[in-house]
């Protein structure tokens, strides 16, 4: 994908999927703007000294001030890729309002605020890619993680509604819906699983890059399953 002279925000760019996305973007010539929670995340990033990556600590992106600072640092924004989020599994009876709102803030509010900031920043069209999840499409698979499922379903609904809202501005909005990704953390959490069936982060990143690219001229309002063989 040719991203020369393109400026791209990647939230969650310090995580496993985010790193794969940033790696492909810089290979394509993009300049990436990556928010970190703190200085430790910056120091652990393999891109901290890369000339095409601007990584800074913005704190929690569920706050409007942090989001405004992030998008204010990205001139002539072409694409905004929203990977930041979090997961928690618990039955409804054991999930209080604090746990529910934490999932809503991490997954939906951060995505909503970043989408809003991206739309304001995209003066000549652009691309927005969100990250939902398999339970956002297959609700029954979200049993035992209902707060997470509901927050990701909200991301999916936001994506489709926003895609319709901004299409005439030349902004194409889509999302991916991953199943369990093949990451070191997930392998450690589920050591008996069939890792070979899980989608690889590099392959999922390739799907994101197409949706965010100038080559994507017609796809909008899609929630693309990226399940691999799982």
Domain CATH for 46? 3.40.50.720
Q: Is 213 exposed, middle or buried (0-12, 13-18, 19+ CB in 10 A)?
A: buried
Backbone torsions φ then ψ of 131, nearest 5 degrees: -120, 110
Task: Note whether residue 1 is domain-resident.
Answer: no
What's the start-to-end Cα distance of the chain, in Å?
27
Choose the weakest-confidence range: 131-135, 165-169, 226-230: 226-230
Asked, for residue 113, whether it belongs to a domain, the answer is: yes
54 part of a folded domain: yes
Residue 138 domain flag: yes
Look at the pTM and tell me if it is higher than 0.85: yes
Q: Is residue 83 part of a domain?
A: yes
Residue 2 in any domain: the answer is no
pLDDT digits (tens, 9 = 90+) for 44-68: 999 999 999 999 999 999 999 999 9
Question: What angle do the packed helices 201-211 and 16-27 form, to 10 degrees?
Answer: 50
The answer to whether residue 172 scores a pLDDT higher than 90 is yes
CA dist 223 and 220 (Å) reads 9
Residue at 16 is within a domain: yes
In the chain, pLDDT over 90 holds for what percent of residues?
A: 97
Residues of the domain holding 203: 7-226
The per-residue pLDDT for range 96-154, each reduced to its tens digit, is: 999 999 999 999 999 999 999 999 999 999 999 999 999 999 999 999 999 999 999 99
Residue 230: is its pLDDT beyond 90? Answer: no
Q: Please check whether residue 119 lies inside any domain of the structure.
A: yes
On the question of pLDDT at 227 being above 90, the answer is: yes
Q: How many domains does the chain have?
A: 1
What's the mean per-residue pLDDT of the chain?
96
């Amino acid at each position: 994908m040719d991203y020369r002279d393109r400026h791209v925000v990647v939230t969650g760019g310090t995580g496993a999927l985010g790193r794969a996305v940033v790696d492909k973007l810089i290979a394509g010539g993009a300049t990436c703007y990556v928010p970190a929670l703190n200085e430790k995340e910056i120091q652990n990033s393999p891109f901290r000294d890369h000339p095409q990556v601007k990584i800074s600590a913005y704190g929690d992106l569920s706050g409007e001030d942090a989001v405004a600072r992030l998008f204010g640092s990205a001139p002539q924004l072409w694409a905004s890729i929203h990977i930041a989020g979090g997961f928690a599994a618990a039955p409804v009876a054991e999930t209080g309002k604090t746990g529910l709102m934490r999932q809503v803030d991490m997954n939906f509010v951060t995505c909503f605020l970043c989408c809003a900031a991206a739309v304001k920043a995209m003066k000549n069209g652009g691309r927005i890619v969100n990250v939902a999840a398999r339970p956002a499409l297959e609700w029954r698979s979200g049993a035992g993680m209902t707060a997470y499922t509901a927050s990701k379903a909200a991301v999916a609904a936001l994506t489709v509604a926003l895609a319709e809202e901004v299409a005439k501005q030349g902004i194409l909005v889509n999302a991916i819906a991953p199943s369990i990704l093949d990451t070191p953390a997930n392998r450690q959490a589920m050591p008996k699983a069939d890792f070979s069936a899980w989608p690889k982060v590099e392959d999922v990143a390739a799907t994101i890059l197409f949706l965010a690219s100038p080559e994507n001229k017609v796809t909008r309002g899609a929630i693309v399953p990226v399940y691999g063989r799982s």
